[in-house]
Chain A
């Protein structure tokens, strides 16, 4: 059993982080939920930490006193991962937002966990470096990105967050400080604990510093917006594009419906909405000639696969008119309904068309509106289950049925529960069902090794 926070605990925490501890009613309501708000619970005490040592001191105190601790970055998660479901201490890292070192000899960037993704990208790009992971939510913290192994819109070519983390400084649940990985390129030294920490959603340790791998900034990038007559023809073009050995950074699927939501949400017109379905591809490279060559062959390929035309998105203004809308899809769909839940399923890329078709079927079967969009090029789909005018109970019943159908079909295709948003609180049941006792047992065993008292982000992922 956990210890309930008392006045003396708050005093002790105030000694560790003077002036940065809030308790009870002092804590703003936003700390009780995340972006999606599927679960809410206020923490008893909020500690805004500044250093690894403070985190260590807080953890040591919590460990000694059996107080649950949940780590929170910018709170942009979608599965309740940063919610203190058992109350206790909420450890906020957003003030740890310093970029500590750009190491141009090792092509690494050392950062604190609270640095926002958009600030990180701007910092490195100003210096002609490139941090490829590009999740839609630019106001997320890098700590949160690492904790969920966020993917984003360049995964097709560059991979996901895990591929760009070289080293981590982690505070363990008992307050111990460990360094995992480092500035090294290769590492065969024992179990890959750094990789285990990435994507562990704050259940195994608190990330207090990260060494990220950088690339040289590609000299230019060009996007192509290809309108298709139907969703099927758009999605069915994707495997052919992948087979063609062209390496776009992104292949995004956009439906007209979602584009219209984004227009309304942003109050800005999208440059083309004459078609029901679009693919948005991006090519980058180090020279104009290389990029032009690749865009031309991709454009020809799209035409041969049934695209009505291919629009060229080549300047800052044009990219902004297209990608601003793409970046706003989640918020735009959220604004179109009263309440929603999301399905961040990932399937083998060859099955994306089939899965999206199945989504339409599920929408009909359950009577739920299921707008969506997806990283068609990497098989990760974002499907939103909208409540609209339904009664709460009715919505929940339909939601459960729709999730069962969607995750069931994805599993049958060799897919997985989450592509990039994580399991957190909301998707635990579906992870358990798909993984089975043996795998959940392994995960739970790992959790026990790191956190024998189960005080760090309890009630998440596999517990």
Chain B
């Protein structure tokens, strides 16, 4: 399986300040790190590649220093990575960012699976992953807890049910069936199916999804591996690709950066805290009973 994990460099601490005048995140002088949510999707990719064969590549968009993020993914186990970097991409909102990433993905090669984190710790929109899938015209699933190649019987079931349901534009579905679940040799876009367990509106959903597809991994689904010093030492410059606007299929500047961004941030402010604190005195039993009643009343349980 050829896997692409999209990552982002974010501020290195959780104590980031917002400029009260401009409403923009103060990034100057703050160390950076890989978006913690991306670590779970990276780990998912590494585990899939280890178990079923394949390789993980990574992609990021950002200033030149975003190379550090790619180097870190290489130290964790990625085979190669690409930085999309161009001053003309600056000021991108989620739409322009996902469009830029989609353009980059098209140039980076063909992948069976694209993995994203749930969201980033600095933007917190959780929109870039799904939008990227839309730009690429591939299916996506968010809040994914678990993923593996579909077993033959699961795939058969699904085919039965779907009868002549549409197969997402590729023709390889039956070919994938014959190769079975361990079909690591399937080329990109082979139309194989993945079994996915995901959270949706408070329910756990199990479903099959046809590759190529994009999955946004839920927070905490695994323990991400640590970067290896040995791997870090072995990184070569050839493993890190760099792309700019001139490398893209769509070279219309207007589609990127600030000019490609319809979003306008009117104001940024910290959310208001609710001060509805109550202090209860009583025995453990009484308090337990009361809290149970309250939770039931508010339909929390």
Contacts and interface: CB of A to CB of B under 8 A. Distances in A.
B229 A271 contact: no
B158 to A, nearest CB: 31
Contact of B75 (A270, A288, A312, A317): A312
Given A303-B229, A303-B230, A315-B36, A270 B223 contact: yes
B200 interface: no
Contacts of A313: 226
A310 B229 contact: yes
Contacts of A311: 225-229
Nearest to B226: A311
Interface residues of B, number: 20
B39 A312 contact: no
A339 B199 CA distance: 41
B227 A316 contact: no
B13 A271 contact: no
Contacts of B222: 269
B211 to A, nearest CB: 27
A347 interface: no
Interface in B228-243: 228-232
A434 interface: no
A38 B13 CA distance: 43
A271 B223 contact: yes
Given A288-B31, A315-B33, A310 B230 contact: yes
B14 interface: yes
Contacts of B31: 220, 288
B188 interface: no
Interface string A196-227: 00000000000000000000000010001100
Most buried by B among A268, A269, A270, A310: A310
B72 to A, nearest CB: 9
Contacts of B181: none
A228 B291 CA distance: 50
B224 interface: yes
A269 B223 contact: yes
Nearest to A317: B36
B12 interface: yes
Interface string A14-52: 000000000000000000000000000000000000000
B229 A299 contact: yes
A224 B230 CA distance: 12
Nearest to B13: A316
A310 B228 contact: yes
A449 B8 CA distance: 66
B226 A271 contact: yes
A220 B224 CA distance: 22
Nearest to A302: B229
B110 to A, nearest CB: 31
A101 interface: no
A357 interface: no
A313 B229 CA distance: 10
A317 B121 CA distance: 12
Nearest to B220: A268
Nearest to A273: B223
Contacts of A288: 31
Contact of A316 (B14, B223, B232): B14
Contacts of B232: 312
Contact of B226 (A220, A269, A318): A318
A312 B229 contact: yes
B39 A272 contact: no
A233 interface: no
A2 to B, nearest CB: 35
A442 B50 CA distance: 64
Contacts of A220: 31
Contacts of B226: 225, 271-272, 311-313, 318, 322
Contact of A312 (B12, B14, B223, B227): B227
A309 interface: yes
Interface in B1-38: 12-14, 31, 33-34, 36
Contacts of B36: 315, 317
B229 A309 contact: yes
Interface string A214-254: 00000010001100000000000000000000000000000
A303 B229 CA distance: 9
A299 to B, nearest CB: 4
Contacts of B13: 316
Nearest to A310: B229
Interface string A288-329: 100000000001000100000111111111100110000000
Contact of B225 (A224, A268, A272): A272
Nearest to A299: B229
A242 to B, nearest CB: 20
A268 B232 CA distance: 26
A268 B224 CA distance: 12
B223 A315 contact: no
Given A317-B39, A321-B223, A309 B33 contact: no
A317 B35 CA distance: 10
Contacts of B225: 271-272, 311
Given A272-B226, A311-B227, 5 more contacts: A224-B229, A309-B231, A311-B225, A312-B75, A313-B226
Interface of B: 12-14, 31, 33-34, 36, 39, 75, 222-232
Closest 5 CB pairs of A and B: A311-B226, A310-B229, A269-B223, A299-B229, A312-B227
